[in-house]
């Protein structure tokens, strides 16, 4: 029962993050927050797996480093989009525009 809780809860959290990411596409900030939520749930799965297999936690630190870099990149894209277009709506942003 405890193993079901260990693996079921992070999978449920990840799928809820996927559902929010797919269903809410109006603002870039909400999409970035749902992506960060999915990354944190993947970190939770990775941490449980590494503790279950008695591996060292150095890979989880590498994963956290890359996820922080991904978050900083997403925030920089958000700031540049707000500076050029004035808001973070996807309806006002044209991908083909130079």
Residue pLDDT tens, the chain, 98 long: 666 777 788 888 889 988 988 887 788 888 888 889 999 999 988 888 888 888 877 888 899 999 999 999 989 988 888 888 777 776 666 654 55
Q: Which two tokens stand for residue 20?
A: 């929010």
Spans of all domains in the chain: 2-85
Q: What is the pLDDT of residue 91?
A: 67
pLDDT score at 56? 78
- For 69, other C-beta atoms within 10 Å of its C-beta total 10
Per-residue model confidence (pLDDT) at position 72 = 92
pLDDT at 2 (0 to 100): 67
**Which CATH class for the 2-85 domain?**
mainly alpha
């Amino acid at each position: 029962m405890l193993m079901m809780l260990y693996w079921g809860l992070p999978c449920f959290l990840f799928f809820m993050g996927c559902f929010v990411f797919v269903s809410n596409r109006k603002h870039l900030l909400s999409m970035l927050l749902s992506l960060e939520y999915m990354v944190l749930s993947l970190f939770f799965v990775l941490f449980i797996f590494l503790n279950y297999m008695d591996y060292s936690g150095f890979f989880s630190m590498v994963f956290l480093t890359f996820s922080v870099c991904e978050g900083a990149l997403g925030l920089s894209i958000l700031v540049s989009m707000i500076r050029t277009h004035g808001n973070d709506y996807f309806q006002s942003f044209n991908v083909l525009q130079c």
